[in-house]
Amino acid sequence: MKHLLTPERLTASPSLSGPSPRAARFSPDGSRLTFLKGRANDRQRYDLWSYDVKTGKAALLVDARKLEPEDVELSEEEKALRERKRIAGLGGIVTYEWDKRGEQILIPIAGDLWLAKVAGPAVDVQRLTKSKAFEYNAEVSDTGRYVSFIRDGALFAIDVAAGRELPLSPAADPKAAISYGVAEFVAQEEMSRYVGAWWGPEDRYIAYTRVDESPVAIVPRFDIAASEVTVIEQRYPRAGEPNAIVDLFVRDMKTGKAVQVDLDSSPDTYLARVDWTGPDRLFVQRVNRAQTRLELLRVDVTSGAVTTAFVETQPHWVNLSKDLHPLASGGFLWSTEESGYRHITLHDPDGRKIRQVTAGDWVVSSVLGADEDRKVVYFEGFVDGVLERHVYRVSYASSDDPPFRLTAPGGEWTASFNRDADAFIGTFSSPTQPPQTGLYRADGTFVAWIEENKVDDDHPYAPYLPAHVTPEFGTLSADDGQTLHYSILKPPGFDPKKTYPVIVEVYGGPHAQTVANDWRKLSDVMLAQRGYIVFRLDNRGMWNRGKKFEDVIFRQTGDAEVRDQLRGVAHLRSLPYVDPARIAVDGWSYGGYMALMVTLKAPAGTFAAAVAGAPVTDWKLYDTFYTERYMRTPKDNPDGYKAASVFAHLTRLSSPLLLFHGMADDNVTFDNSTRVYAELQRMNKPFEMMTYPGQRHGVADQDMQVHLLNTKLAFLARHLKP
C-alpha cells in the first residue's frame, strides 16, 4: 500500500510530477531564461527564477513573499480573469513580462505593479503603484518607457522614468456598463483574448477597447461561500441573447488624440484579435455572430479607416488562432483552416496572402518563430501522427520542402523560441517521464537542462514508481469511417484471466485532446492502482484532427460524440478481461455534460455508475460565442437545442449518479445543476450530489480537492467493486 497514490498526496506539495517551470521565456537578448517555479512546500505559490545561459546556473530572481508578505484578497475582476486563464488556484507571482530592451521585468502582484530592474549585477525591485484600487492587465510598452494597466475599468499608464501617471482612456461609467481597455467575458473565456489594450512598436500608438455591456443581461450569481452569500450581478451573454458592443480606438501618444476604428461594431460582431506588425501597421481580426466569416482588416491608424486584407470562410464555423507572427521585412506569417486543416500562410505587408506554406492531412498547432535570414518558420504540429506533438522547421520561401522534425520521438513537446530564432526552450514529457525542460539550439541540438526533472531516488514520485502504470493505445472506427484514438490504462499486476471494472474518463468537447503519448493525469494512475481499468477515447468533435473530424457536432452536440463513446464502451465489453456489468463514466465541464448524455442515451444497464462535475445541462444557459459556434442560436435551431439538453433525456436515468458543482461557478453557472436536482427530485429519481462553497468552475481549494476525490472514490467503490 505504501506505493499507492492517495487524494491527500496527489494534491499535496511538492508536486508528484516534480518541478516544472511555468511561463519559461528568453530575455530579449537571449542571455538568460526566466520562469515561474512553485515552492517545495507550497506547489501553488510561484516565485520568479532566472537561468543564466552562459553558466547554466539557475537562481531565485524575485521572491513573491517579499512583494506580498500576506495573501491579499483579489478583486472580482482579477478572480474572473484567473478563472478564464485557468490559474485560479495559483498564488504569488502568476504572470510577468520583459520589456523589449531586456532591462526590466514587470511583475503584477497583490493588486499592485512592480518593476524588477535586471540590467546591473543586482536585481532592484521598484514599486510602481500603491493604491486601494486593484491594478490588473498590466503591459510594458515597446520601448519600456510606459507601463499600462487597468484600474476601475479604465486604462492608465505610468511614465516609468518620470514616475508620472496618466489616463489613456476616458473614465469608466459603471452605471452605463462601459469600460475601457478590457476584454469582455466571452473574449476571455472563449477567444483566449485576455486583454483590451495593445502597444504599438516604438510607443507611438496604443490601441484599446471600449466595452459597452449594457445590452448584456444581468444573471444574478449567488457566490455562496461557507459563511456568507454574495450576490454578483454578472453580465453573462447566454446563447441567443445580446452580446457586449466592443469598439476599438487608437491613441497617438504624441498628440494624446484617439481615433475610433471603423469596425461597424455591434452585438453581432466580435473583435477577436488585434496585432501590430509595424509602427503604423495595425491589423484586426473580426468575426461575424455566426462565426462563419473571419476578416483580417488593415487599419489606418490616423483615420481609423479599415480595408479588408483577407477573409476566411467556413460552412460551419471558423476557429481562431494566435499565430500572427510579424516579419522584419514587413509581412507576416499566419495560419488558417482553408484546406480543412490548420496550416501556415505567408502574407505581404498589406495582409494579402502570398502562399500557403504547409499542407497535408495534419494540423499545425502554433507558429513559434521565424529565421528571416534563412527564411524558415518553426512550428508545433502533428506531422508524424496525432498522439505526439513535435517541433518542426519548414521554408516559407516556397511550398516545396516538407517539414523537418527537430524533436525526438517517444513523447510530446512544447517550445518557445528566442527573438532571433536560433534557440528554443523545449519541454518534453512521456508516459514514463514527467515534464522536463531544456535549452536547445534551433536545429534541435540539446544544450543544457533548465529542469531535468529526472525521476531518481530524490524525486517526489520515486516512492510511487513501483506501482506506476502506463497506457496502451489503439484505434476504433466511427460510424462514418473516421479513426478514433483511445488509451487504456490497466491496474498494476494486471492479470488477463481476471475481469476488471472500468472507468471511462470522458471530456468529448471541442478544442481538447485527451489521448496522447505524454505524462497524463496521475489521478488516472490512482484509479488504476485501485483495481480499475481507465479508458479514454477522443471522439469526433475534438481537437487536432481537422475540420471534418470536428464539424460532425454542428447543430447537434451530444449526438455523434455519444455514439463514439458508446462505440468505445462496446469495444470494452468485447474484451475478456472487462466486466461488462461494472463500467462507469466520469467527466467534468463538457465532460460532465458528456457523462450525463452518454449515461442517459445508452441502453439501460450499460453503466453501473456515472459521475458528472460542473456539467452544462442546457445549452441555452451557456454563453454566446461558444454555444452558437456549434449550435447557432436557440431561435435558429430549437430542435437541436432540445435534443442536446440533458432534460430531454432525464426520464431515462437508471444508473446511480453523482453530481459535483462549485457554488460560485461563473462559467457553467450553478443553476445548470440545481435545475437537474429539482427535475430529478420531481421525478422521484434517486441521485447523489456534492457542492463546494466558494469554488468556481474548478475546485481550487486543496482540502476541497481531497474531499472531492475521496467522495468520488467512495461512490465508485460502492457501485463498481464486486
| CATH (domain of 517) | 3.40.50.1820
Pairing of strands 578-588, 500-505: parallel
Reported as type and span, the H/E element at residue 33 is strand 32-39
Residues 452 and 474 reside in one and the same domain: no
Q: For residue 190, report the phi and psi dihedrals to the nearest 5 degrees.
A: -110, -25
Domain annotation covers residue 301? no
| 339 lies in the same domain as 362 | yes
**589 catalytic per annotation:** yes
- pLDDT tens for each residue of 416-475: 999 999 999 999 999 999 999 999 999 999 999 999 999 999 999 999 999 999 999 999
Tell me the residue ranges of DSSP E strands in 227-352: 229-235, 245-252, 258-260, 269-278, 281-288, 293-299, 306-313, 325-326, 332-336, 343-347
Residue 307 lies in a domain: no
Give the active site residue among 589, 645, 655, 673: 589
Spatial contact of 505 and 536, defined as CB atoms under 8 Å apart? yes
Determine, yes or no, domain membership for 252: no
* Confidence band, pLDDT 50/70/90 cuts, at residue 381: very high
Residues 594 and 645 in one domain: yes
263-267, 535-539, 670-674 — which is least confidently predicted?
263-267
Co-location of 353 and 498 in the same domain? no
Residues 481 and 627 in one domain: yes
Task: Find the mean pLDDT for residues 62-68.
Answer: 94
Residue of 99, 665, 666, 671 marked catalytic = 665
Tell me what the mean pLDDT of segment 69-74 comes to.
88
Same domain, 529 and 648: yes
State which of 442, 459, 476 marks the end of a domain: 459
Encode pLDDT of 233-265 as tens digits. 899 999 999 999 999 999 999 999 999 999 988
Residue 288 dihedral angles phi and psi, to the nearest 5°: -75, 165
Q: Which among 343, 459, 485, 697 is annotated as catalytic?
A: 697
Q: For residue 722, what pLDDT is reported?
A: 64
**122-136 pLDDT, tens per residue?**
789 999 998 889 999
Domain of 686, in residue numbers: 462-720
135-178 pLDDT per residue, tens: 999 999 999 999 999 999 999 999 998 999 999 999 999 999 99
Residue that is written with C-alpha cell 494566435 in the block: 322
Residues 471 and 387 in one domain: no
- In this structure, the answer to whether residues 451 and 536 fall within a common structural domain is no
Q: Which of 98, 116, 132 is the last residue of a domain?
A: 132
pLDDT of residue 516: 98
Mean pLDDT computed over 257-275: 95
Confidence of residue 697 (pLDDT cuts 50, 70, 90): very high
State the CATH number of the domain containing residue 72. Answer: 2.120.10.30
Instruction: Quickly state the pLDDT bin for 181 (edges 50, 70, 90).
Output: very high
Contacts of 302 (CB under 8 A, 6+ apart): 259, 280
Rg of the chain, C-alpha, whole Å: 25
Active site residue 623: no
Average pLDDT over residues 59-76: 91
Assess whether 697 carries a catalytic annotation.
Answer: yes
Average pLDDT, the chain: 95
Q: Three-class SS of residue 273?
A: strand
pLDDT tens, residue by residue, 33-44: 999 999 888 888
In-domain check, residue 174:
no
Same domain (yes/no): 454, 602: no
More confident residue, 232 or 564: 564
Look at the chain and report how many structural domains it folds into.
3
Burial classification of residue 589, based on how many CB atoms lie within 10 Å of its CB (0-12 exposed, 13-18 middle, 19 or more buried)? buried
Co-location of 447 and 467 in the same domain? no
Tell which of 459, 490, 512 closes a domain. 459
Region 98-110 average pLDDT: 92
Q: Give the span between the Cα atoms of 549 and 479, in whole angstroms.
A: 12
* pLDDT (average), residues 10-28: 93
383 and 501, same structural domain? Answer: no
Judged against a pLDDT cut of 90, whether residue 225 lies above it is answered with no
Cα 320 to chain centroid, rounded: 13
Dihedrals φ, ψ of 368, to 5°? -100, -35
Grid cell for residue 69? 508578505
Whether 467 is covered by a domain: the verdict is yes
pLDDT at 710 over 80: yes
Do the domain assignments include residue 608?
yes
Euclidean distance between CA atoms 486 and 516, whole angstroms: 9
* Confidence (pLDDT) at 1: 57
Residues 409, 475: one domain? no
Residue at 82 is within a domain: yes
615 lies in some domain: yes
Q: Does residue 323 surpass a pLDDT of 80? A: yes
